[in-house]
Structure 1
Amino acid sequence: MTMNSKHLRTAILAGTCLATAACATGSGTDFMADESWGEANRRTMAAQVIDPNPVYDTAIPPTSAQNAVTAIERYRDDKVEQPERISTTEEPD
């Protein structure tokens, strides 16, 4: 075996060891436990979780089926009440 092939084999072995060691950190699926991700990532991930049993400060407002029926009839008869125009910018005097 020549000296070059011995160095090449040693380099390949060292690279394989480094790659294996790099893969050994963390479980691979539980990246939230990895401290290198940072607080911003944890907050972003937590914001995407839906609360299965939400609690609201106010109750659900009452609804009326009759109001819905009259609104649909106005829409069908083309008698929809036009809302007041509201501008988001001030017009010059």
Structure 2
Amino acid sequence: MKVSYFDTVWDAIEPSKSDAANMRARADLMIAIHKTVLRWNTTQATAARRLGLTQPRLNDLLKGRIGKFSLDALVNHATRAGLEVKVRVGKKAA
């Protein structure tokens, strides 16, 4: 039996490195938005309005339904939440 090791769960379950990178970025954005919304200490309806979302759509985000959000949409929501989004690109360590 061969044992495989992966850097992240996305590397293990996604069919390509680019798909895994996309999912990692989406997950990171969803987590950051989730933490920000929790700090607002308000209702989902109020937070949704602040982000330009419907309450059910915000609920999908807070529940981690990652497949319902594109990377582009999450960047927009993060910006509306007052977050600064930066992209870091570099050569992968060997």
TM-score range (shorter-chain normalised) is under 0.3
Q: Greater share of helix residues, 1 or 2?
A: 2
More RCO (CA 8 Å, sep 6+) = 2
Could you state the TM-score of these two structures normalised by the residue count of structure 2? 0.26
Larger Rg: 1
